[in-house]
C-alpha cells in the first residue's frame, strides 16, 4: 500500500512543505496507522514524501521510528519503503537512527526507493555484506540462501543468518510459504 | 523609579557582538540594585540581533522581577529605526517616550527580505508549534534574500531544521517562552547571517539536573555534551542541539550558546584548519535561560 504523507498532511490541515515538531509527527502517525488498518501480513508500505521538503528529528522520532517499530511486531508484520526523500530528510533520519543505535544497542534501517546521498538504497548502519545482499535482492527481486552464500563467499548457514537478520530489520522479506530458503526484496 | 526620582543608566556601545554584550549583561545586577528606571541608549552605534534579543530578555526579566517596565531614552535615530522595524519596540517590554516620525520609519518593503522580526516562541506546545510553523513559513519566503551570499539548494532546508530544533527546545526544556530573530548584515566587507533564539527559562544545566552522570560537570561542559552527543533531558536520547551542531559544521558556521553563567563557542571554520574550535567559559555574569546565536560568515 502507498501512504502519501502530503495527502495526510493536507487532510489534517498541516502547513506544507515542512513537517516539523513532535505533535505533527504524532498526528501524521495516527492518521497513517488508521489508513493501514486493512494491511495484510507481509505487505510493503510505500511511504511517499512527495511534496514534503523537510522532516525534522522530532517528526522522525514520532512518525518513522514508531512505524518501523510497529513493522517488527508483535502485530502484523509489514515492510516500509521510503520514496521521494530529500537530502535533509536523509540527514535527519540518519541522525535519529544513529542515536537509536547508540542508546538502544539495537540496529535500525529503512529501505528507500531511490539512491540516497550515501549511494545506497537504504538509510541506516549496515555491514558491507548486508549492503551487498540488499543490492543483490533489489536487482534480482528474490534469491535463495545458496545464491547469497555464493555472493558473500560464506557458508549457507551464515548466509541464512544474515538474511534472517535483514528480515528482522524488515529490510528483506521471506519468500512465500513453501519456498524454503527464498528471500525477496522490499 | 525610586521615591519619584528616575535613575537612568547609560548603556555602553557594546551591542556589536555576543562577547561585547557581556558588558551589558554584567550591568543587570546594577539595574536591579540601583533601581534603574531608564536605559540611555545614546552611546549605541550599532546593535546586532543577539544583542537586541538579549536586551529584550533583560527588560523582560526586569519587568517580571519588579513589575515595572524599563524606559528607553535618547535612542539614536538609526538604532530607533532598526528596533522599530524589528518589532522590538512593540514587544511590550520597554517604555519609549519619544515616538519616531512616520516618515523616518523603515519601509517594510525595502528591508523585509533580509530579516525575520522579533517573534515570540510561546512556552506551551500547541501555541509554540503554530509559532514555529509561522516563522518557518516567513523564513521560506525570505530565505533567498536572507541567505543571498550562501545560497545553494540545500541550505534553506538545513536552516528550517535548525530553526525547528532550537525553537522546540524552548517549550520542551526551558519551562519558559522565548524569542527568535534573524538577519543578514554586513560588517566591513564581511557578510553575516545570524539566527538568534533565546529564552529566560531554567537553562541547560538545570534541564539536565535529573541526569546523574552530568551532575558533576561544569555548565559549559554540559553545553558541550548537548552539542556533541545525542542526549536529552526528557528522553533516553535526543537530537536537537547535536543535530544543529552537525548541520552548522556542514555549513562551516559558528554557534554561540550561553546558559546561566556558562557558554560554549564552536567555530567550525577553524575546526577544518585543525585549530582549536570549541571555547568554553564558566565565569560569566548570571543571566537566566539559554541564549543561542548561530552565524554564517561569507
Q: For the segment B90-103, what is each residue's pLDDT rounded down to a tens digit?
A: 999 999 988 777 77
The three grid cell numbers given for residue B293, joined into one nine-digit string: 546565536
CB within 8 Å: B243 and A24: no
CATH number at residue A156: 1.10.10.10
Out of A100, A125, A150, a domain closes at A125
| pLDDT tens-digit readout, B186-199 | 888 899 999 999 99
The three grid cell numbers given for residue B129, joined into one nine-digit string: 508549534
- Kindly tell me if the per-residue pLDDT of B292 is higher than 70: yes
A99 and A132 housed in the same domain: no
Can you give the pLDDT at residue B100?
A: 79
CB within 8 Å: A58 and B168: yes
CATH number at residue A117: 3.30.750
A111 and A38 housed in the same domain: yes
Q: Report residue B210: phi and psi, to 5°.
A: -80, -10
**What pLDDT band is residue B263 in, cutting at 50, 70 and 90?**
very high
Q: Which of A15, A88, A98 sits opposite B161 (nearest CB)?
A: A88
Angle at A108 between CA A184 and CA A4, to 5 degrees: 70
CA distance A156 to chain B (A): 38
Provide the phi-psi class of B274: left if phi over 0, else alpha when psi is between -120 and 50, else beta: left
Can you give the pLDDT at residue B208?
A: 86
Give the helix, strand, coil percentages of chain B, each rounded to 5.
40, 25, 35
User: Maximum Cα–Cα distance for chain B, whole Å?
Assistant: 60
**What pLDDT band is residue B1 in, cutting at 50, 70 and 90?**
very low
- The pLDDT mean for chain B works out to 90
d(C-alpha B169, C-alpha A63), whole Å:
19
Which residue positions in chain A have pLDDT lower than 70? 177-179
CB within 8 Å: B238 and A98: no
d(C-alpha A59, C-alpha B232), whole Å:
16
**What pLDDT band is residue B273 in, cutting at 50, 70 and 90?**
confident
The three grid cell numbers given for residue B153, joined into one nine-digit string: 539548494
Closest C-alpha to B142, from B165, B160, B129:
B160
The three grid cell numbers given for residue A51, joined into one nine-digit string: 511534496
Angle at B113 between CA B108 and CA B117, to 5 degrees: 70
A47 and A85 housed in the same domain: yes
A89 and A144 housed in the same domain: no
CB within 8 Å: A23 and B230: no
Torsion of CA A137, A142, A147, A149, to 10 degrees: 60
The three grid cell numbers given for residue B226, joined into one nine-digit string: 548537548
Closest C-alpha to B289, from B166, B181, B194, B195:
B166
B271 by Cβ neighbours in 10 Å (0-12 / 13-18 / 19+) ranks as middle
Q: Are A112 and A122 in contact (CB under 8 A)?
A: yes
Can you give the pLDDT at residue B234?
A: 64
- Domain span at residue A143 reads 126-186
CB within 8 Å: B126 and A23: yes
- Kindly tell me if the per-residue pLDDT of B107 is higher than 70: no
CB within 8 Å: A103 and B236: yes
What does the DSSP 8-state code read for residue B91? G
Architecture of the domain defined by B8-106: 2-Layer Sandwich (3.30)
CB within 8 Å: A21 and B157: no
CA distance B162 to chain A (A): 9
- With a CB cutoff of 8 Å and minimum separation 6, the contacts of A159 are A145, A146, A148, A149, A151, A152
Q: Does the domain spanning B114-297 belong to CATH 3.90.79.10?
A: no
Chain B residues near any Cβ of chain A (below 8 Å): 125-126, 129, 132-133, 136-137, 140, 154, 157-158, 160-161, 164-165, 168, 230, 236-240, 242-243, 246-247
d(C-alpha A179, C-alpha A144), whole Å:
9
A130 and A118 housed in the same domain: no
CB-CB neighbors (< 8 A) of B136 in chain A: 18, 20
- Kindly tell me if the per-residue pLDDT of B115 is higher than 70: yes
What does the DSSP 8-state code read for residue B11? P
A70 and A149 housed in the same domain: no
CB-CB neighbors (< 8 A) of A58 in chain B: 164-165, 168, 239
Task: Find the mean pLDDT for residues B224-233.
Answer: 84
Can you give the pLDDT at residue B139?
A: 96
Number of separate domains in chain A: 2
Out of A85, A108, A125, a domain closes at A125
* Per-position b or e across B76-97, b if 16+ CB within 10 A of its CB: eeebbbbbbbbebbebebbebe
CB within 8 Å: B157 and A86: yes
- How do strand A78-83 and strand A54-55 relate by DSSP bridges? unpaired
A91 and A26 housed in the same domain: yes
d(C-alpha B28, C-alpha B200), whole Å:
13
Is the ipTM higher than 0.85? The answer is yes
d(C-alpha B291, C-alpha B53), whole Å:
9
B5 by Cβ neighbours in 10 Å (0-12 / 13-18 / 19+) ranks as exposed
CB within 8 Å: A95 and B246: yes
- Kindly tell me if the per-residue pLDDT of B298 is higher than 90: no
d(C-alpha B183, C-alpha B106), whole Å:
15
Q: Are B194 and B48 in contact (CB under 8 A)?
A: yes
A159 and A77 housed in the same domain: no
Can you give the pLDDT at residue B3?
A: 55
Give a three-class secondary structure readout of B25-57: HCCHHHHHHCCCCEEECCCCCCCCHHHHHHHHH
User: What predicted TM-score, i.e. pTM, was given to this entire model?
Assistant: 0.91
A68 and A99 housed in the same domain: yes
Closest C-alpha to A12, from A43, A38, A35, A37:
A35
| pLDDT tens-digit readout, A104-143 | 878 999 999 999 999 999 999 999 999 999 999 999 999 9
A63 and A121 housed in the same domain: yes
| pLDDT tens-digit readout, B169-181 | 998 888 899 999 9
CA distance A30 to chain B (A): 17
CB-CB neighbors (< 8 A) of A91 in chain B: 161, 246-247
Can you give the pLDDT at residue A63?
A: 97
Can you give the pLDDT at residue B233?
A: 63
Query: CB contacts < 8 Å between A and B, how many?
Result: 78
Collapsing DSSP to helix, strand or coil, A146 comes out as helix
**DSSP string for residues in B101-163:** PGGGSPPHHHHGGGEEEEEEE-SSHHHHHHHHHHHHHHHHHHHHHHTTTT--TTHHHHHHHHH
CA distance A163 to chain B (A): 30
Domain boundaries, chain B: 8-106, 114-297
A113 and A31 housed in the same domain: yes
CB within 8 Å: B161 and A54: yes
- Kindly tell me if the per-residue pLDDT of B256 is higher than 60: yes
Can you give the pLDDT at residue B108?
A: 62
Amino acid at each position: 500500500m502507498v501512504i502519501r504523507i502530503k495527502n495526510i498532511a493536507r487532510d489534517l490541515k498541516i502547513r506544507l512543505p515542512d513537517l516539523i515538531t513532535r505533535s505533527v509527527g504524532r498526528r501524521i502517525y495516527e492518521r497513517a496507522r488508521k489508513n493501514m488498518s486493512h494491511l495484510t501480513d507481509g505487505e510493503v508500505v510505500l511511504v511517499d514524501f512527495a511534496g514534503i521538503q523537510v522532516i525534522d528529528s522530532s517528526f522522525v522520532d514520532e512518525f518513522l521510528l514508531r512505524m518501523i517499530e510497529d513493522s517488527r511486531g508483535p502485530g502484523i508484520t509489514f515492510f516500509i519503503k521510503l520514496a521521494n526523500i530529500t537530502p535533509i530528510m536523509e540527514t535527519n533520519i540518519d541522525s535519529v537512527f544513529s542515536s537509536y543505535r547508540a542508546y538502544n544497542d539495537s540496529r535500525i534501517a529503512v529501505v528507500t526507493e531511490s539512491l540516497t546521498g550515501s549511494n545506497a538504497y537504504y538509510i541506516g548502519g549496515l555491514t558491507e555484506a548486508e549492503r551487498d545482499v540488499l543490492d543483490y535482492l533489489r536487482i534480482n527481486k528474490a534469491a535463495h540462501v545458496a545464491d547469497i552464500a555464493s555472493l558473500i563467499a560464506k557458508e549457507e548457514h551464515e548466509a541464512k543468518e544474515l538474511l534472517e537478520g535483514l528480515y528482522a530489520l524488515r529490510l528483506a522479506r521471506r519468500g512465500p510459504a513453501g519456498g524454503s530458503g527464498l528471500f525477496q526484496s522490499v | 523609579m525610586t521615591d519619584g526620582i528616575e535613575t537612568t543608566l547609560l548603556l555602553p556601545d557594546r551591542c556589536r557582538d555576543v562577547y561585547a554584550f557581556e558588558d551589558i549583561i554584567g550591568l543587570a545586577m546594577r539595574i536591579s540594585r540601583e533601581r534603574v528606571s531608564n536605559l540611555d541608549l545614546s552611546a549605541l552605534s550599532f546593535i546586532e540581533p543577539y544583542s537586541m534579543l538579549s536586551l529584550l530578555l533583560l527588560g523582560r526579566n526586569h519587568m517580571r522581577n519588579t513589575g515595572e517596565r524599563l524606559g528607553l531614552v535618547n535612542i539614536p535615530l538609526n538604532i530607533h529605526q532598526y528596533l522599530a522595524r524589528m518589532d522590538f519596540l512593540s514587544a511590550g517590554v520597554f517604555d519609549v517616550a519619544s515616538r519616531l516620525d512616520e516618515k523616518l520609519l523603515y519601509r517594510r518593503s525595502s528591508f523585509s527580505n533580509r530579516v525575520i522580526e522579533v517573534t515570540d516562541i510561546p512556552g506551551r506546545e500547541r501555541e509554540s508549534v503554530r509559532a514555529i510553523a509561522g516563522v518557518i513559513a516567513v523564513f521560506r519566503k525570505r530565505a533567498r534574500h536572507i541567505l543571498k551570499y550562501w545560497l545553494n539548494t540545500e541550505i534553506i532546508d538545513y536552516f528550517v531544521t535548525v530553526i525547528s530544533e532550537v525553537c522546540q527546545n524552548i517549550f520542551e526544556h526551558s519551562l519558559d517562552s522565548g524569542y527568535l530573530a534573524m538577519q543578514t548584515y554586513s560588517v566591513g566587507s564581511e557578510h553575516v547571517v545570524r539566527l538568534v533564539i533565546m529564552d529566560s527559562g531554567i537553562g541547560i544545566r538545570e534541564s539536565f539536573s535529573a541526569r546523574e552522570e552530568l551532575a558533576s560537570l561544569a555548565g559549559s561542559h554540559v553545553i558541550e555534551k548537548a552539542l556533541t552527543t545525542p542526549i536529552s533531558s526528557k528522553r533516553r536520547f535526543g537530537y536537537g542541539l547535536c543535530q544543529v551542531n552537525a548541520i552548522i559544521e556542514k555549513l562551516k558556521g559558528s554557534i554561540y550558546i550561553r546558559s546561566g553563567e556558562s557558554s560554549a563557542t564552536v567555530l567550525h571554520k577553524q575546526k577544518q584548519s585543525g585549530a582549536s574550535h570549541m571555547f568554553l567559559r564558566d565565569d560569566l555574569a548570571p543571566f537566566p535561560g539559554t541564549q543561542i546565536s548561530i552565524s554564517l560568515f561569507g
